[in-house]
Chain A
Amino acid sequence: MGKLKSVAELESLRAQVLAAPDRPVVRVCLGPGCLAQGADKVSRAFKAAIQERNILADVQPLIKETGCHGFCSQGTLVNLYPSDLFYVQVKPADVPEIVDQTLREGKVVERLLYADNGARYRSAAEVPFYKLQHKVILKNVGLIDPLDIEDALKAGAYRSLVKALTQKTTDQIIDTVTIAGLRGRGGGGFPTGFKWRKVVENARENPGPVFIVANGDEGDPGAFMDRAIMEGDPHAVLEGMAIGARAMGAEQGYLYVRAEYPFAVRTLNIAIEQARALGLLGQDILGTGFNFDVQINRGAGAFVCGEETALLASIEGRVGEPVTRPPYPVEQGLWDRPTVINNVETWANVPHIIDHGAQWYAGVGVPHSTGTKIFSLVGKVKNSGLVEVPMGITLGAIVEEIGGGVPGKERFKAVQTGGPSGGIIPYEFKELPPEDLKLDKVGLQPRGFMPMELKNLPVDFDSLAQAGSIMGSGGMIVMDDRDCVVDVARYFLRFLEEESCGKCLPCRLGLKGMQEFLNNFSQGKGAPADIDALASLGMALVDGSLCGLGRTAPNPVLTSIRYFRDEYLAHIVDHKCPAGVCRDLITYRIDADICNGCTLCAKNCPQACIAGANKEPHTIDQDACIRCGVCMDVCPVDAVVVA
């Protein structure tokens, strides 16, 4: 198959692919969650088992290795076509049975079906985890073979590009994106159409090339939405970029991918090559005279490079330090030319908007936050993985209905959204305590109050901001009573301090100072007044830092103080960590009634500080114990408890 020279040739290729004889398909999820559960071995087992049994030769099932299907906690996931059967927790040893029973005999392997509350579900669509979701961006992720452009074409890829090239003026494309209300998915929620328009205007005033960039740096240390898109449906990103390039007159695009995502780089490289081979990227695309190509830049392991000015510096081969804006990238970006930088998920929205129209898109979600958003729903939640929901859905619906709530006997405590730039939102409604008014005096903006119970809080850009957090890129971490807010705030600060480029003083010193407070608190030191001092230091960072890293860094601290001041006080005044996390404030003990004296803990304790005779209850020497948790980890009967 050579280059497609016209739209008609593309459509005839698509028709040809669609007309190919129907074959049974085995879809094995090879996303990062399933890979961590041996998905690659499952896929290999399918290939081997099918090859062995050549009875199936006339209807050889196709094995498709797909991107993340979403329900990672149940991996490895296997979806079958045409039966639509959905098997979960598949191990390589289950594969021969699936081949013999289901593929050959058409029988269901009941034990591999997803079961919950006594019910068994045959297909993914029936499973509660998927039912409330609204998949637009993720629709093809988990369905198509990301390494096969023909499979993407079958699912409709590049249809919107054709529409943009043949039925719309460049102005109309930008108008459509603007009216759809698309806001950036990279964290800030900036209106995309507005940015595009600016680039066009700036290029008109100052003629020359313009550039577009996809931000796939995905630095939030608990989020993998962009990875799922890049690995599961790479052509959606390329198509979105091509449409944007058309609208803005760009001929070169850059795709900046996080260092830790070699799989995404490989997938995107293959997708780019396949698109070039078909003439969907390159010169004179589909004979329309439109030229556009994409280059991949691999990140090199610096969170701050997700910030747009730092990212552009990195593409130019320099140290990724943010610079003061203005000038904004839309004025002077790559090589001082107008540049649009959008998040990967933002780009992946574009083809859908062009395909279904602005009205359709604006009809999904709520007025100022349209469309859907992908979240990585993780932490202390039963069903964990990737979810795509319409904007404006309540947090309760996500965590409790889709996520199935908090597992075990612990209570649902809070949700953290927006990663290191976001906040911790409590589950229970909290009246503003009087101390909070004091906080406002030291400068905390009047945002950051819970207007309602968490379960009723709509998930959209503005409601989350009002609650003191941010939408961020889509990390959503569920916390229960065993998670300490002081510890989480301290965790994010340490992360940010390590990642700060150190260029400006407030960020460099402020993060150190804030950490010192939190380190003290976690050791039970400090005075209640220090809490307010910490908050004012945080506000100094918000006001004085050069880039978004420093300006948003205090958010986790400020929200946790606001909503969980009692927990801070428990550390400082009572020298207790109610969640049992902060190491200097807890002890490990062995419950003599449960301990069976197996000696495992004593054998593994790095301090050799556990004593006890064989088959007798053991005890820990608290003076020598370093609270490493090894004993708790190795005890087969859960006799080790934290107090």
Chain B
Amino acid sequence: MQTARQDIDTILERYPRHPQHLINLLQDVQAEYSYISPEHLTLICDHVGVPVTQAWSVATFYKSFSLEPRGEHEIKVCLGTTCHLKGGQRLAEACERNLGVARGQTTADLRFTLDTVNCLGSCALAPVVMIDNDYLGRATIRNLKKRLDESDDGSD
């Protein structure tokens, strides 16, 4: 699954040197490296011409940005309204117990990052959990655990 990463310079070249593109660049770097390292943050700032402090406040304000490395697998437990009514909280807690991390955190072995999300658009199948790009609809603690075990000793 590891493809060669886009070079940071290639990403920077996608956008003109204008403060307007700060968020776009943060997003592209986040997408490529799954987090924004201090070095990359500085490079982005130099490119679009904003002070690092401003970029820092932008990067911490928006939830999509992570300033720390993320796990290999991303688990997103939906806590949108419908999923909440149908027990999403309990699923999130079960994940916390099973992985030994709180939501928003990454396991020490960098295998899993646990996150919560507000509505994945699949409310009819609530509660829903996303593991990387796969959905698990009508999730239960049991079938979720099975799925996690599968991805843990999975393809990679």
Contact = CB atoms under 8 A, between A and B. Distances in A.
A407 to B, nearest CB: 12
Contacts of A385: 124
Contacts of B93: 628
A287 B137 CA distance: 49
Contacts of B125: 33, 36-37, 72-73, 75
Interface string A183-219: 0000000000000000000000000000000000001
A628 B122 contact: no
Contacts of B90: 628-630, 633
A491 B80 CA distance: 9
Contact of B97 (A219, A222, A300, A606): A606
B21 interface: yes
Interface in B111-133: 117-126, 128
B82 interface: yes
A221 interface: yes
B87 interface: yes
B122 A317 contact: no
A483 interface: yes
A221 B62 contact: no
Contact of B137 (A37, A297, A483): A37
B24 A479 contact: no
Interface in A290-318: 297-303, 314-318
A35 B124 contact: no
A475 B118 contact: no
Majority-rule SS of B interface residues? helix
Contact of B23 (A260, A314, A379): A314
A317 B19 contact: yes
A491 B84 contact: yes
Interface string B11-30: 00000000111111011000
A384 interface: yes
A33 B121 CA distance: 7
Interface residues of B, number: 45
B65 A300 contact: yes
Given A319-B57, A475-B81, A300 B121 contact: no
A301 B62 contact: yes
Given A259-B63, A477-B85, A298 B27 contact: yes
Given A300-B26, A302-B62, A479-B85, A317 B123 contact: no
A479 B85 CA distance: 8
A630 B81 contact: no
Interface residues of A, number: 58
B11 to A, nearest CB: 14
A317 B121 CA distance: 27
B123 A378 contact: yes
Nearest to A32: B121
Contacts of A629: 87, 90, 141
Contacts of B141: 604, 629-630, 633-634
B108 interface: no
A229 to B, nearest CB: 12
B142 interface: yes
Nearest to B25: A317
Which interface residue of B23, B82, B87, B121 has the most chain A CB atoms within 10 A? Answer: B121
B57 to A, nearest CB: 6
B94 interface: yes
Given A317-B48, A379-B82, A479-B85, A32 B27 contact: no
A222 B23 contact: no
Contacts of A222: 80-82, 119, 123
A249 to B, nearest CB: 22
B27 A495 contact: no
A220 B24 CA distance: 23
B94 A223 contact: no
B63 A380 contact: no
B151 interface: no
Interface string B70-81: 000000000111
Given A221-B119, A378-B126, A384-B123, A491 B81 contact: yes
B42 interface: no
A543 to B, nearest CB: 26
- Of A222, A227, A492, the most chain B CB neighbours within 10 A belong to A222
Nearest to A260: B117
A419 interface: yes
B58 interface: yes
B63 A73 contact: no
Interface string A32-46: 110111000000000
B117 to A, nearest CB: 6
A416 interface: yes
B128 A221 contact: no
A379 B85 contact: yes
A501 B120 CA distance: 23
Contacts of A301: 62-65
Nearest to A74: B124
A376 interface: yes
11 contacts: A72-B125, A222-B81, A259-B62, A300-B23, A302-B62, A317-B58, A378-B81, A491-B84, A501-B61, A629-B141, A633-B142
Interface of A: 31-33, 35-37, 72-73, 75, 219-224, 227-228, 259-261, 297-303, 314-320, 376, 378-380, 384-385, 416, 419, 475, 477, 479, 483, 488, 491-492, 495, 501, 604, 606, 628-630, 633-634
Given A73-B124, A300-B27, A416-B81, 6 more contacts: A72-B123, A299-B64, A300-B64, A319-B61, A479-B85, A628-B97
- Please give me the 7 A-B residue pairs with the lowest Cβ-Cβ distance, nearest first: A300-B62, A301-B63, A222-B81, A32-B121, A72-B124, A36-B137, A221-B118
Interface of B: 19-24, 26-27, 48, 50, 57-58, 61-65, 79-82, 84-85, 87, 90, 93-94, 97, 117-126, 128, 135-137, 140-142
